[in-house]
Amino acid sequence: MSTILITGATSGLGRYVAFELVRSGHVVLAHGRDRQRTERLVAELRTEGEAEGFVADLARLAEVRELGARVAEARPGLDVLINNAGVGGGTPGSGRELSADGHELRLAVNYLAPVVLTRSLLPVLRANTPARIVNVGSAGQEPLDFTDPELTRGYTGMSAYCRSKFALAAHTFTLAEELADSGVSVNVLHPATFMDTAMVRESAVTPWNSVADGAPGVLALATEETGSGGYFDGTRRARAHEETYDPEVRKRLAAVTEQLLTV
C-alpha cells in the first residue's frame, strides 16, 4: 500500500478521493488550508485507516516549500503525490486577484504551487520508486501569453483558470521527460466536467457531474501503472491542448516559471 499526499483534501474531489484511498488501505496525508477543517477531516479519516494532516496556504510559496519539507521529514516513505488543490474561475465579473506573493492568484495556486511542491518532494519520491505524481488539471486550457503570463491585460477569472491548467499540463509533459527512467511517473487529468464543488458553484455554473464521477481517474493514476507523460479525460487517455506538446512553448514556459519563482 502507498503513502499518498493529496492537496486540497478538505472538500470536493480531494475529500472524496482521500476517503476512497484510506478505505483501500493506503496511508493518506491530507493537506488543507484551514487547520480546524484539516483536523476534522483527519479525525474522520482515522476511523477508516491511517491518516495525517498537513496545513499550508498554497497561495504562499514559502508555505508550499515548508509543506514539502515537513512531509518529507514526517513521511519518508511517501510514494504518491496528488496535486489536487485549486482555485476556480471565481464569481463572474470579479476582478483580478493576487496571491500573498503578488502573483496572479490562479496561476499561483493552480500552477506555481504544484511545481514548487513537486520539486521539494522529488528526492523522497525518487527514493521510493515506483512513485507517482498526479496533477489534477482541466479540459479548460488556454495558452499563456508569455509577454503577460500574469494576465494583467484583459483579465477574466475563467481565462486565468484555463491558462493555469494549460501551464500545468505543459509542465507535466516536460517533467515526464526529465523523469524518464527514474521510476517516478507523472500524469495530468481532467477528472470530470463541472463537478458539484464549491469552485464550480461559485462560478455560477450548474454542476454536470458529482465528485464521485471525477474520482476514478484520479484513483487510477494514483494507484495503477499507467505510464508517464499522459493526459487523461477521466480514466480515458486523451489529448491536451495541442500547444502543450510544442517544445518551444514548453521551453518558454520553463523560462517564465523560473523567472516567476525567483521574483
- Mind telling me the catalytic residues? 161
How many CA atoms does the CB half-sphere of 3 hold within 13 Å?
16
Strands 236-238 and 231-233, bridge-based pairing: antiparallel
Strand order in the sheet with 231-233: 51-55, 27-32, 3-6, 80-83, 131-136, 184-190, 231-233, 236-238
Q: Is 66 helix (H, G, I), strand (E, B) or coil?
A: helix
The answer to whether 134 and 74 are in contact (CB under 8 A) is no
Q: Which residues pair with 206 in a beta bridge?
A: none
Angle at 196 between CA 193 and CA 202, to 5 degrees: 95
User: What is the residue type of 64?
Assistant: V
In order of 4, 21, 82, 260, the CA distances from 25 in angstroms are: 11, 7, 17, 39
State how far the Cα of 263 lies from the Cα of 260, in Å rounded to an integer: 5
Nearest residue to 114 (alpha-carbon basis) of 175, 42, 183, 197 = 175
